[in-house]
Structure formats: structure tokens, C-alpha cells
Structure 1
Amino acid sequence: MCRHLAYLGPPRPLAELISGTPHSLYEQSWTPTVNADGFGIGWYPVNDGAGPVRYRRSVPIWSDANLPGLAAAIHSGAVLAAVRSATPGNSYEESAVAPYILGHWLFSHNGRVDDWELLPEDMGEPLSPAELLDAEARCDSALLWIMTIRRLADGTPAGDALADVARQTAGARPDARLNLLLTDGHAIAATRHGGTLWYRAAPGEITVASAPTSDEEGWREVPDHSLLLATERTTEIEPL
């Protein structure tokens, strides 16, 4: 089962967000489950409107000798990161590792969709040839990202787009686990459908994660079948 997090707040070193706390995302790559099929970090550079920037690998996060130095040197106030455990039927290459990126958006999926290749037809949303060619990878997460892009391109707000993808997918695949994360560097939208999802709001910052990434007080669990909408100052939870 993959793990992911999103953070908005004062700029911090990536290392502080990814590996600098007990139960960090780095630690969650090997406990309580093993997530050794890649990792990715997306961040919005401080005082740079051109972001986001992405760094991802198909190797375990603990095996990348370059990461500690990079993560210590790079600061950001808006980050989305993930560690991956690939499930059968999904590709293992680097292109399948979150976060996915398009324009100012970063996206991640923690969960699983069985028979994902048949999902577009079962949802009544067949893919166009262009969408098939543009798919980053052959995996359930990449497909969910295409479905999300469709809605964003139509002008659907981020939260509504994620909620609709989760509802439609769950309707076609009731056993799917659909914890989705989406950010534009200013706000976070997340769904919990199966699995776990937590958030911690502190003055001027918000962290959303599959599981608490620190021993700090204030972590709250998002109820199952919910949509979370958050900024550095506001948090809302709605039923899916």
C-alpha cells in the first residue's frame, strides 16, 4: 500500500518534511508496510511562479544516495510526496510513480483499482486515442489522473473533480481504495475511500498524509468516504 503526503505552510527543507520526524514518509517506506517500488517529490519553488518541480525514482527512497543532499538544500512551502508499492497488473517503471504533474497541478493516488484497464468503459468514459498516447504509465493511478484532468479541463473545481472521480470509480469498482491527493500549491483536495487519511492543522500550515508523520499533537483522522478541502488557514470535510 502506497503512502503519500501534502504540505502547505512556511517554507521548509524537503528533508524536514520527508525524513526529519518519527514516522516520516521516509520511515513509512519500510514500516509498517514496505513501499519499495519508487518514490516521488513534487514542490513549488519559493518565490518562483514557474513551478511545480518533480523528482522521482523507481528505486526505494532509502537507496537514493543523492536524495539526502537535495532534500536538505531545497526549501518549499508547498509539497506533495509519495512512496510506492506497486500492485499486480501495474507497471513498475519510474513513469508510474507519483506525483503526476500537469501545469500547476500535482496528483497522487494511494490505493488500488482492480481491472483498471476496463474502468473507462465500465464508467462510460472511454479514453480517446490522444489520452491513451498521453498516459504517463500503464497503471491505475495514471488512469485516475487522466479522469481527474478531464474534469479540471472542463473547469470543475479541484475538490469536485476528485470527489466525482472517486464516486464514479467506486460505483464501477466497489472494492477500490481511492485515497487521492491534489494540489495547486495553494490548496489541497483529498479523498478517503478505504485505507486511511489524516491531517494536522497548525497556525499557518496544513499537512495531509496517509498516516501521521510525526509525534506532534493535533493529528485528526479523516472519516472514510469523505472529501477534505484544506488551505493553510481553513479545513473542510464533506461526505463523498
Structure 2
Amino acid sequence: MCRHLGYVGPPLAVGEILTRGPHSLRTQSWAPRDMRGGGTINADGFGVAWWVPAPTAPEDHGAGVIWHGGHTPDVIDAAREDRPRPNAPGPGPIDPGELNANDPAPPTAGSGRQDVGEPASPAVGLGGHKVGEPASATVGLGRQKPGEPASPAVGLGGQKAGGAASPAVGSGGREVDESASAAVGPGVSGGPEPAHTASVTSRYRNAAPIWTDPAVDEVLPQIRSRAVVAALRSATVGLPLERAACAPFTHGRWAFSHNGAIPGWRDTFTTLAAKFESPSLLEAESLTDSAMLWVILRGLLEEKSVAADAALRQVVAGVLEHSPTARLNLLLGDGETLWATTWHHSLSVLVTDEFAVVASEPYDDDERWRPIADRQLVVAGPGRVTVEPLDIDTGRATS
């Protein structure tokens, strides 16, 4: 019934952690060793999430939204400047004598800034790029000063046209590796990296078996991150087989996976959503128990600001109150720490001073792997791991 893995430590290739070891997560898709009655293979899709830097967002942008260009413009004032003045004269002919050959050339203007009757200046797009100029003059938003030599075309992350290929990047043109200090917005060649206050998740999912996807070997190894959460899916009978149903589920800095099943989940989550005042269950990416479980857990983490360990305890207890035979091995990560629960299914941890791995099954024979007993809450990071009983009274529940 699914397999998952979380990693926190030095930057590594995202694809490498999926294929690491003789009993890698990919191998576990067709040859798992400890399913505990949860099926025989995990071939109904897979997914992997990693973390990328999130620059400080302007007040009018949400967390994790990257602003491309220099300083943040005041969009309201800019709109007011472009708006025609109420008493301004309408279009009409201008006496050619009013134009003096010695007068300075009219300033290059963007949309709505050309004065009526002025000599037609070249059309200007965002960032001062004149229509008809060679592509080498393409610049970013508002960064090209009048009269300066044309700068080379610059794409997301500061990649100049025709330059060497840049490293793999995540959403918004940010390099995944910590060396992303060279990545800048469009039109800015070089310069300091914006201050970062957090990381946000990016992810890749596929509803096909992991062994059929060439991206695992050809694309994902080019992406590097300090943290990864990955999952294989073995779908419960009757639930949809689709990419949206594949973990990890993500939002902001969080990534989540559920290994297990929840009998009667529709009624269970309807009751829990009302109890926890959760976001609408219609926000679930897919009509599955895991996707709806994530909506409720995310509501506790983000809207109620409940600590991760406490939120997991509340969710597990709430589900078991209404579905006492539920299987609830949960995995949660924020890019720095991993939290996990064991409720019926297997889990092991490998923690050193440099990194921490939490996995349904060990991917190799390293003697430092430590199996986790049932009904436990695990909190792990490089050089640290705590394991505490969940201590949830399930009455007649038997997992």
C-alpha cells in the first residue's frame, strides 16, 4: 500500500535518491519487501517534491511569488501616470513650427505615454525594447536606461542568449542548488541574489509506473536540492488512477505523503472538516482519501498555525475516531525537517550528522538503518531524531 521516502541533508540530485541502493524506491515499485497486506506492487504512479529558494515577496504578492526585474514598482501610481488627465486636449493637428530641430528628442515611451502629435517614436514594449530592433537589445522590465548600449538578451535566471546552458532550474527560473546566487530576474545580467526567508516546493508526478518514466534517469538527476519527499502509489480499489492522485501533495513549503487506506473516508473527512474548520474539501486535488487528508492537515498547519507534530497527532486521532481500522503512515516535510507516523505499515530511519532519511523500506544494507515500531511519531533531521508513542486510544480499533 504505497511506499514513500524523505531526505534532508547536503544537496543531491533528485533523481539519485529515487534510484539509490540495490533496493531503491524505484525497485520497491515492483519488488517491495514489507507491504503488510497492502498489495503486492506499487505501480499506480509516483511523485517527487523538492525545495527551491523563495525570495522575499512584495506586499502585493503571495509567499513564494518571484518578482522579475529590479525594484518593485508601485503599480497603482504607474497606472495613474498612464491615465489621461481629465482636462487634457484631445487629438488634433500640431503646427510643424512648434517643433524645433534643436529640441531634444522626445523620450521613448511605453503604451499610453506617446504625446499626441509628437514624431512617431519606435514602439516600445515592456522593459524598453523597441519593435524592430535586433533581438540582442532585448532587456528586462525597466532595467535598460535611455542611451545605454543595448544589453544582451537575458532570460529567466540571467541566462544570456547564446550563452552556455545554465544549470537545471526550478519554478521561476531559480536554480535548485544553493549555488543559485547567480540567478537573477530577466534583464539583469548578474547582481546580488534577493534575500531568501524560506523555501517552497516544486514537484514532478506521473500516473504511470516509475520504471516506465525516462525522466527519472534523464531529467530529475539534473535537479539538486537539500530536501526531497518521494512516493510510489498503490491505489485503493475504486479510487481514480490519475496524476492528481499521486503524492506528494504540496503547498508552499510543505510536502505530504500518505501510505495506507481509510475505510469510509468520505464520511470521515466530512465530519473532520467541520470539526477542524478546514478549508473546503473541494480543494482536494483528487477524489481520494489521501488528497482530502492533506486538505485537512494543511488547514491545521497553515490556517490554524498548529505545530507539525501536534497537527499529525490531531489528524491521526481524528481519523481513527471515525475509521478505527485506518492505516495511517504519514510523511511530512518542510525542507528542513521530516515528520512521520507509523500506524500499521513499515518505516525505517537512517540518520547521520550530515543527513536524515525516512523511508518505508531501507534502500540498502547500511547497518545504521533503524526500524520504527508501530504507532509512533518520528521527527528527524541531520544529526537528530526523536521517536515518541502516538498514545491514541482507538477503543475497538485493530490496525
Could you tell me the TM-score, scaled by structure 2's length? 0.58
Cα distance between partner residues in 1 of 2:278 and 2:254: 23
CA gap 1:37/1:124 in 2 versus in 1, 3 angstroms: closer
- Of 325, 329, 334 in structure 2, the residue corresponding to residue 184 of structure 1 is 334
**What's the counterpart of residue 144 of structure 1?**
293
Deviation at 1:122, TM superposition (A): 4.5
Q: What letter matches 2:228 in structure 1?
A: V
CA gap 1:117/1:85 in 2 versus in 1, 3 angstroms: same
Deviation at 1:233, TM superposition (A): 2.0
- The two structures, once aligned, show a CA RMSD in angstroms of 1.8
Deviations 1:203-236 (A, max 9, x none): 2110001111111111111111110011112111
- Of 375, 378, 381 in structure 2, the residue corresponding to residue 228 of structure 1 is 378
Residue 16 of structure 2 aligns to a residue whose secondary structure is: helix
Residue 67 (str. 1) matches residue 216 (str. 2): yes
Contact 2:245/2:286, CA 8 A, preserved across alignment: yes
How do 1:1-240 and structure 2 match up within 5 A? 1-32=1-32, 33-44=40-51, 45-47=176-178, 50-123=199-272, 125=274, 131-152=280-301, 153-240=303-390
Structure 2: gaps (5+ residues): 33-39, 52-175, 181-197, 391-399
Kindly name which structure, 1 or 2, has the bigger radius of gyration based on alpha carbons: 2
Deviation at 1:125, TM superposition (A): 2.9
Residue 225 of structure 2 aligns to a residue whose secondary structure is: strand
Cα distance between partner residues in 1 of 2:294 and 2:18: 23
Cα distance between partner residues in 2 of 1:164 and 1:216: 34
Contact 1:43/1:79, CA 8 A, preserved across alignment: yes
Contact 1:120/1:126, CA 8 A, preserved across alignment: no
Cα distance between partner residues in 1 of 2:43 and 2:384: 34
CA gap 1:24/1:150 in 2 versus in 1, 3 angstroms: same
Deviation at 1:92, TM superposition (A): 1.2
Cα distance between partner residues in 1 of 2:214 and 2:294: 30
Give the total of aligned pairs: 240
**What's the counterpart of residue 187 of structure 2?**
none
Deviations 1:98-149 (A, max 9, x none): 0001111000000011111111244473698961331110001011101101
Runs of 4+ aligned structure 1 residues displaced above 4 Å come to: 126-130
Could you tell me the TM-score, scaled by structure 1's length? 0.94
Residue 82 of structure 1 aligns to a residue whose secondary structure is: strand
Contact 1:120/1:127, CA 8 A, preserved across alignment: no
Deviations 1:182-206 (A, max 9, x none): 1110111111111111101112110
Q: What letter matches 1:140 in structure 2?
A: D
Deviation at 1:50, TM superposition (A): 4.9
Contact 1:181/1:190, CA 8 A, preserved across alignment: yes
Structure (1/2) with the larger helix percentage: 1
Cα distance between partner residues in 1 of 2:307 and 2:208: 34
Q: What letter matches 1:149 in structure 2?
A: R
Residue 168 of structure 1 aligns to a residue whose secondary structure is: helix
CA gap 1:123/1:215 in 2 versus in 1, 3 angstroms: same
Percent identity between matched residues is 40
